[in-house]
Amino acid sequence: MAESKIVDILAVFPELEPAADAIEQLRLLGIHDDCMNVISGIPVTEAMLGRPNQWTNVPRIAMGGAALGFLGGFFLAYVAPFLYPYPIQVSTQSFTPGPPTVVVLFELTMLGMLLSTFLGVFLDSYFPNYRPMKYVPEVSDGKIAILIECPHADEKKIMDALNKLGAESVRPAEAQHL
């Protein structure tokens, strides 16, 4: 049984529109979205290229941090005053006055959300990454690159299609240490 070898092809496009057309053509050739990676020096959304939205856990992590922050604020506002051995009564005011409690709850909720969002983005982006990465110097000049993983048997067909769609260069990709 012969194994089909997977090759990486790198196509560099001068603008966004030919790159979006190339992604659509690659789908028609049978390349799945998981096998294509767009490398760009400018922010490019999935909708601009007609790709499905990427899944991320950052919103869930942020909501978990907000819940932990709220619980911390609740503890400080409602539980901590009763932990003193001799509670101090100030006039007719209760141990947990309303307006300061709202401020503490809000601030600690937002602090928990902020810290967990930072941690979630940090972990979701796999930073730091010590593996060899694909680097394209042309992307620094404002060009768009598409990295395609395809079977070796389809390599010639895909390279020809990318050249017809206006790619400036189409070549095999190599991983480099940055």
Task: Note down pLDDT in tens along the chain; length 178 residues.
Answer: 455 688 888 899 998 888 888 988 888 888 888 888 888 888 888 887 777 777 889 999 999 999 999 999 999 998 888 888 887 777 887 777 888 899 999 999 999 999 999 999 988 877 777 766 666 778 888 888 898 888 888 888 888 888 888 888 888 877 655 5
Q: Which residues contact 70 (CB under 8 A, 6 or more apart)?
A: 105, 108, 109, 112
Task: Take residue 16 and report the two structure tokens written for it.
Answer: 């966004």
Report the C-alpha gap between 22 and 115 in whole angstroms.
39
Residues 151/6, Cβ–Cβ less than 8 Å: yes
Question: In the prediction, which pLDDT does 127 show?
Answer: 74
Residues 23/51, Cβ–Cβ less than 8 Å: yes
For residue 127, give the 3-state DSSP assignment.
coil
Each domain of the chain, given as residue ranges in start order, spans 6-54+131-172, 59-124
Question: In the prediction, which pLDDT does 1 show?
Answer: 42
Architecture of domain 6-54+131-172: 2-Layer Sandwich (3.30)
Question: In the prediction, which pLDDT does 58 show?
Answer: 93
Report the C-alpha gap between 167 and 13 in whole angstroms.
5
Prediction pTM value: 0.64
Cα–Cα–Cα angle for 139, 144, 149, rounded to 5 degrees: 105
